[in-house]
Amino acid sequence: MTMPARIVIVVEDEPLIRLFIADALEGAGFAVLEAGSVLEAVGVLGMRTDVDAIFTDVDMPGGLSGIDLANMVASVSPHMGVVVTSGRADVNPSDLPAGAKFLPKPYNATVAIATVESVIQRRRGSEEAVAS
């Protein structure tokens, strides 16, 4: 019996970067949903209850940032892992929700996959602790 694929939403407004990370995650066995903006990601999240993690860039079009999205996700879906990425050096870890990981750009696929794995495992571990 195979485990169902873990589902990750990749939120990135640069199509080539989004394609790169989506391909890497799919190659590692994840099911990937893609969004080019925070509002598009919120729309996807409104239709899905089975998402395990979100992988979002900070700088996004449309007035809402990836940090805004990370905080929304943490408050509405605390079971979901959160990875925030940016090429800017001025992202303050205290702006991120508890348990979120920051991944500076440029990153390689191996580190990105391991970071997504770690936030999903952390969330699953805290859910199991609450359940017991």
Structural domain harbouring 20: 7-131
- Answer yes or no: is 64 within a domain: yes
Is 2 domain-assigned? Answer: no
Question: 88 in a domain, yes or no?
Answer: yes
At residue 85, the pLDDT reads 96
**Is the pLDDT at 113 greater than 60, yes or no?**
yes
Confidence of residue 2 (pLDDT cuts 50, 70, 90): low
What is the Cβ-side half-sphere exposure of residue 131, based on CA atoms within 13 angstroms?
Answer: 7
Per-residue confidence at 129, pLDDT binned at 50, 70, 90?
low
Residue 108 falls within a domain, yes or no?
Answer: yes
Q: Phi first, then psi: what are they for 8, rounded to 5°?
A: -125, 135
Q: What is the pLDDT of residue 66?
A: 96
Contact 123, 80 (CB under 8 A): yes
In the numeric block, which tokens belong to residue 6?
Answer: 């873990």
Averaged pLDDT, 54-63: 95
Question: Residues 35, 123: contact at Cβ < 8 Å?
Answer: no
Residue 1 belongs to some domain of the structure: no
pTM value is 0.91
